[in-house]
Amino acid sequence: MLGLMQQEPLLISSLLTFAERHHADSEIVSRRVEGDIHRYTWREASARAKQVANALDATGLLFSDRVATLAWNGYRHLELYFGVSGSGRVLHTINPRLHPEQIAWIANHAEDQVLCFDLTFLPIVQAIHAKCPGIKRFVALCDKAKLPADSGIPNLVAYEDWIGGQKTTYDWPDFDENSASSMCYTSGTTGNPKAALYSHRSTILHAYAASMPDVMALSARDSVLPVVPMFHVNAWGIPYSAALTGCKLVFPGPALDGKSVYELLESENVSFAAGVPTVWQMLLGHLKQNGLRFSTLKRTVIGGSACPPAMIDSFREDYGVDVLHAWGMTEMSPLGTLCTLKNKHLRQAPQEQMKIRLKQGRAIFGVDMKIVGEDGRELPWDGKASGDLLVKGPWIIREYFKGEGGDPLVGGWFPTGDVATIDPDGYMQITDRSKDVIKSGGEWISSIDVENIAVAHPAVAMAACIGVRHPKWDERPIVVVVKKPGAEVSKEELLRFYEGKTAKWQIPDDVVFVDAIPLGATGKMLKTRLRETLKDYRLPGA
Amino acid sequence: MLGLMQQEPLLISSLLTFAERHHADSEIVSRRVEGDIHRYTWREASARAKQVANALDATGLLFSDRVATLAWNGYRHLELYFGVSGSGRVLHTINPRLHPEQIAWIANHAEDQVLCFDLTFLPIVQAIHAKCPGIKRFVALCDKAKLPADSGIPNLVAYEDWIGGQKTTYDWPDFDENSASSMCYTSGTTGNPKAALYSHRSTILHAYAASMPDVMALSARDSVLPVVPMFHVNAWGIPYSAALTGCKLVFPGPALDGKSVYELLESENVSFAAGVPTVWQMLLGHLKQNGLRFSTLKRTVIGGSACPPAMIDSFREDYGVDVLHAWGMTEMSPLGTLCTLKNKHLRQAPQEQMKIRLKQGRAIFGVDMKIVGEDGRELPWDGKASGDLLVKGPWIIREYFKGEGGDPLVGGWFPTGDVATIDPDGYMQITDRSKDVIKSGGEWISSIDVENIAVAHPAVAMAACIGVRHPKWDERPIVVVVKKPGAEVSKEELLRFYEGKTAKWQIPDDVVFVDAIPLGATGKMLKTRLRETLKDYRLPGA
């Protein structure tokens, strides 16, 4: 017997309709590529998103056709989020930090028909347009006056012209909530990129979950600054959760340096910000250098890669900002776990609480997770056993776009490629990427543990631990280090720094100083590249 | 094109599985009918819910068969919530405050096959069992030792016996998320009761929404006491949201007097409580009489009927507890709106903020609402125009069980029977029940406004405003008043009290003092009954 409740599909357009009706005056503030500050409200965002939908109709796009973006966090990008998906097309956000060759490959693989881009990325579009014959319309996110005259790009139009003549009304269509809404390619370090194809249903469920008190805790009283890019996993779903909660939205545009982000946090009374460690490092650096404080910032969620404990400490102790560790991935929309305490922890001493905060956190309802050993059997949640981490839930992919890479699931669970422990309270801690873990004499050494100790040294800016072949132990860890500007530390000094902080056999065998560690398109260290660079490296005495 | 996300149905069993895996140690504390305090965790609740499922299998119940409860808020009721719905049966919570005749009618209409009851309600079961031949198993929520020997009830078993021999493992079945999960009859003042038939999907979506910061703001750090009964609209969904968030749960059992509730709030470090105004009145009375304070209580949600402004004031000003006004109904699972401020209000003066807090609040994402005039046209959101309130959304009914009462929807919207205004920021304020509004000389007078002024008088405990026939004005308001014990106020004094607080023509024509105002099964004043009692009343001078 079925229940007798109303059968409303969960659609992204309903988020916009809700925001327009119930939060019409909530502010959306953007630092534009043009440099100035733009501000308007959901009322206007909604009207312009409807113009986008009408423009797509006029361009001849059908249901499920793909519209690509190469854009920063800003109001025009937001309009595309809702106008494209709301009208039944698929929003394809492209990471502009990828190589143009790869961008062209991705655009063709996705069969993009329209490409909207911030002028920052004009050179990319100039480099690829000839290789992407499927794109019938290039839209520069600017007005006519800013449109470059001799770009050489065919079918180029200024966004304001493209939507300008369109009606500000649109009847959002009703369709299956499992329809594709948006897509994002993973910046795979091996092989071609593969895309997660999100649905309206998965996006709405994720938006509910992301807003909850134990996740991003978003309310209509918040002013929210997503540093996490809208070009990668939908800025952790914040644009959707913002419409769902009616919070104020503050977009930093391309200016992610410490000074610019700080100014925006202060001028817009930001209460919550979300980002990756690298951007926060720049922000903290700016605060320290200039003796500044936060007036309104209360909490941040940090994810994208493991956050150095020292940074969590600094935010909490020096600036009174609650730092929450998050973990997720492109294939997970992206949120999987968040690290908040439980009722039972409230009476614990701060040091005990800090031990919990350093973990990646607990599963959000919707996501289940488990760790398995090499034989595939589930391992105990004792905080010690570490194994391959698998997840499942309604906002996790079941396969990649076009079936690339075959069936990724193992018995219905998605293997994350991370190695982790889970404690009896359900707190998960990433110990390594499965491909980065170092196997020394039959024992596993976590490259992340080795790196965390190195970056705790005052002279170290960045550290990457990789395994190198060893005749006796199979593999031994070495640590590749970038020193802070003007700082000095010797190999011997750094190795001594490990003593007493980890088991002796887990101390790296060598330190290699480099000027820079290669970073991928989402800011993660590219250890594959590093291993290639160091392929002729030999261990001392080996 | 469909998205490629995992297709997990939204099922109530997944809430329990989540709580068992990720919040195994979260506490569930119950004051039992037996009088003592019982405490355990989700680990044990889950094991026992599985025993319930096995017991239902053994009793021969099939998918969608109904299991009724007549029970207080407590751990055994919680086990039934998950064991019944999780295994695919339909949980039918019956309001024990209804007349036994009505309970029998409801049990037969629902085709209940099992009836589980707290011993408090033994007399009800003794009165009805012979009239309910469809019930093949009566289960007393106690152990064998407490089972009454000569109850006269056939097929009676003690709950602990019924589930005791069953296995603590159960493979929760997978099925359509739109399947019926639970049902609740409205205590309609006219005609036969009609039932809302909730689905697994509507329950899970409501549980996500109810947990959000702008709704009940539930997290794993909270200790939550639902005073709102599990026998009516699922205690506002708190049992489900508790499993979803892992908060601590504190059940008051039958002891809803001020002293008992206060003791539990203090001993279990309760941070959040939800209830109807009548219970809070008793609680505040207890605090005032004994000069007590709250140590941990931070916020309450008050709903079920319009909350007197004086009570909101008292909670906030005298006790530092944030009081949120909520509005909903059985047909809405029940939450529709909650009154929390927006970012733009944060810089307003407290008096301005208080004006907003007195409203019923803003729609929660999922719910949309509108007000219409007598011609069915949508009225403006100006905070002035008042009209019939209609709602829609995935946790609102589309029809009643067995189609009783025909199609209730009007163009896809459910008419709530409330009359309301909506202001430009989307804050809704109930001005009256459509059947209670007084039409005087072509103008509408809100009975709620008249009542609120009366209860603001220090001598008035309760007040009900009804309309009586008038030869010239069609209808005129009178106010029926219950005085506080030992307090005195004359008719003339109370009528003078209205002066300057409302327009002259809105001041009631008369005051009628009574010993008690009849209350319905959910604590609401029964104005229909009052109108009957006063049918021979004549206005002074009429």
| Per-state percent for chain B, helix, strand, coil, to nearest 5 | 30, 25, 40
Residue B531 φ/ψ region, left for φ over 0, alpha for ψ in the -120 to 50 degree band, beta for the rest: alpha
Average pLDDT of the segment spanning A332-350 = 95
Residue B380: count other Cβ atoms within 10 Å of its Cβ: 12
Contact A287, A320 (CB under 8 A): no
How close B152 comes to chain A (CA, Å)? 33
Would you call the peptide bond into A226 cis, given omega within 30 degrees of 0 as the criterion?
Answer: no
Between β-strands B195-199 and B223-226, what pairing exists: parallel, antiparallel or unpaired? unpaired
pLDDT at B278: 80
pLDDT at residue A80 is higher than 90: yes
Which of A6, A64, A400 comes nearest B394 by C-beta?
A6
Average pLDDT, chain A: 93
| Model pLDDT for residues B9-31, shown as the tens digit of each residue | 999 999 999 999 999 999 999 99
Phi, psi torsion values for B326, nearest 5 degrees: -125, 155
SS3 A91: strand
**Is B488 designated active site?**
no
**Model pLDDT, residue B252:** 97
- pLDDT of B51 higher than 70: yes
B196 touches chain A (CB under 8 A): yes
Q: Give A-chain residues touching B180 at CB under 8 angstroms.
A: 1-4
Nearest to A217 among B3, B90, B213 (CB): B213
Q: What percent of chain A has pLDDT over 90?
A: 78
A360 CB within 8 Å of a chain B CB: no
Cβ distance B212 to A208 less than 8 Å, yes or no, reads: yes
Minimal Cβ distance to B178: which of A3, A198, A333: A3
Confidence class of residue A449 from pLDDT cuts 50, 70 and 90? confident
B213-242 residues touching A, CB cutoff 8 A = 213-214, 217-223
Spell out which residues of chain B touch residue A368, defining contact as CB-CB under 8 Å.
17-18, 21
Confidence of residue A539 (pLDDT cuts 50, 70, 90): confident
CB contact under 8 A, A3 and B365: no
Catalytic residue among A105, A331, A337, A340: A331
The dihedral through the CA atoms of B212, B411, A172, A28 has a sign that is negative
Residue B331 bears catalytic tag: yes
Closest-CA residue to A66 (of B3, B60, B366):
B3
Closest C-alpha to A389, from A356, A427, A355, A354: A427
Q: In the prediction, which pLDDT does A408 show?
A: 94
> Residues A329, A331, A333, A336: what is their CA dihedral angle, to the nearest 10 degrees?
-50
Of B22, B392, B396, which is closest to A426 when you measure between CB atoms? B22
Reported in sequence order, the residue ranges of B340-386 that DSSP labels E, i.e. its strands, are 362-363, 368-372
Cβ neighbours, 10 Å, residue B111: 15
* Marked catalytic residue, from B69, B186, B203, B300: B186
Q: Say if CB A332 and CB A367 are below 8 A apart.
A: yes
Instruction: Collapse the DSSP code of A53 into the 3-class scheme (helix H, G, I; strand E, B; otherwise coil) and give the result.
Output: helix
Q: Which of A27, A179, A214 sits opposite B220 (nearest CB)?
A: A214
Query: Biggest alpha carbon distance in chain A?
Result: 75
φ, ψ for residue A182, nearest 5 deg:
-160, 165
Q: Which residue of B has its CA nearest to A409?
A: B6
pLDDT at B409 over 60: yes
Task: Closest CB to A244: pick one of B22, B27, B365.
Answer: B365
Closest CA to B389 of B355, B422, B344: B422
Predicted pLDDT of residue A534: 87
Q: For chain B, what is the mean pLDDT?
A: 93
Q: For chain B, say whether A411 makes contact (Cβ under 8 Å).
A: no
Q: What is the pLDDT of residue A471?
A: 84
Question: What was the pLDDT predicted at A133?
Answer: 97
CA B339 – CA B337 distance, rounded (Å): 7
User: What is the pLDDT at residue B502?
Assistant: 85
Residues of A with Cβ-Cβ distance to B404 under 8 angstroms: none
Q: Residue A542: pLDDT above 90?
A: no
Calculate mean pLDDT across residues A513-521: 86
Q: Rounded mean pLDDT of B135-157?
A: 95
- What are the residues whose beta carbons fall under 8 Å from the beta carbon of B226, sequence distance 6 or more? B73, B235, B236, B238, B239, B249, B251, B273, B274, B275
Answer yes or no: is pLDDT of A188 > 70.
Answer: no
Residue of A nearest to B215 (CA): A219
pLDDT recorded at residue A387: 93
Instruction: Yes or no: say if B181 and B90 are a contact pair by the CB < 8 Å rule.
Output: yes
Interface A–B counts its CB contacts (< 8 A) at 240
- Residues 415-434 in A contacting B (C-alpha not used; CB under 8 Å): 424-426
Q: Is B26 on the interface with A (CB under 8 A)?
A: yes
Contacts of B342 in chain A (CB under 8 A): 23, 26, 220-221, 246
What confidence tens digit (pLDDT) does each residue in A191-210 have? 678 999 999 999 999 999 99
Alpha helices (H) in B90-236, listed in sequence order: 100-110, 122-128, 159-164, 200-211, 233-236
Percent of the residues in chain B that have a pLDDT greater than 90, as a whole number:
79
Is B131 catalytic? The answer is: no
Q: Is the pLDDT of residue B189 over 80?
A: no
A340 to chain B, minimum CA–CA distance in Å? 8
H runs (alpha helix) in A212-357: 233-236, 238-245, 258-267, 277-290, 309-313, 319, 350-357
The answer to whether A380 and A373 have CB atoms below 8 angstroms apart is: no
Q: Of B17, B44, B444, B483, which one is the catalytic site residue?
A: B444
- Chain A contact for B270, CB < 8 A? no
| Cβ contacts of B247 on chain A, cutoff 8 Å | 343
Model confidence at B60: pLDDT above 80: yes
**A393-399: average pLDDT:** 98
Tell me which of A186, A203, A300, A337 is the catalytic residue: A186
- A122-175, pLDDT tens digit by residue? 999 999 999 999 999 999 999 999 999 899 999 999 999 999 999 999 999 999
B398 → closest Cβ in A4, A343, A424: A4
Contact A247 B343 (CB under 8 A): yes
Tell me, yes or no, if the pTM score tops 0.80: yes
* pLDDT band per the 50, 70, 90 thresholds, residue A190: low
pLDDT above 60 for A189 = no
List all residues of chain B from 98 to 157 with a beta carbon under 8 Å from chain A: none
Q: What's the pLDDT score for residue A524? A: 77
Q: What is the pLDDT of residue A432?
A: 83
Tens-digit pLDDT profile for residues B467-499: 998 888 888 999 999 999 999 999 999 999 999
pLDDT-based confidence at residue B188 (cuts at 50, 70, 90)? low
Is A7's CB within 8 Å of B394's CB?
yes
| CB < 8 Å to B178, chain A | 2-3, 5, 7
Residue A174 distance to chain B (closest CA, Å): 14
Residue A424: name the closest of B43, B169, B422 by CA: B43
- Taking alpha carbons only, the member of A433, A282, A428 closest to residue A358 is A428
Closest alpha carbon to A303 in A259, A334, A346, A345: A334
Query: Which one of A179, A212, A344 has the shortest CB-CB distance to B2?
Result: A179
Could you tell me the strand order of the sheet in which B368-372 lies? Answer: B368-372, B387-392, B414-422, B428-433
Task: Note whether A426 contacts B209, CB cutoff 8 Å.
Answer: no
CA distance A84 to A200: 12
Instruction: Report d(CA B411, CA B499) in Å as an integer.
Output: 43
Task: Classify each residue of B393-427 as buried b or exposed e, where b means 16 or more C-beta atoms within 10 Å of its C-beta.
Answer: bbbbbbbbbeebeeebbeeebbebebbbbbbebbb
Q: What is the pLDDT of residue B306?
A: 66
Active site residue B172: no
CB contact under 8 A, A197 and B4: yes
Q: How far is CA A114 from CA A80, A180, A411, B236, in A?
A: 11, 17, 38, 46
pLDDT in tens, A278-328: 888 889 999 999 999 999 999 999 987 667 778 888 898 899 999 999 999
Residues of B in contact with A244 (CB under 8 A): 365
Cβ distance B365 to A1 less than 8 Å, yes or no, reads no
Q: Which residues of A touch B400 (CB under 8 A)?
A: 4
Name chain B contacts of A296, Cβ cutoff 8 Å.
Answer: none
CB contact under 8 A, A362 and B220: yes
Which of the given ranges, A124-138, A433-447, B438-452, B519-533, has the highest pLDDT on average?
A: A124-138
pLDDT in tens, B87-113: 999 999 999 988 899 999 999 999 999
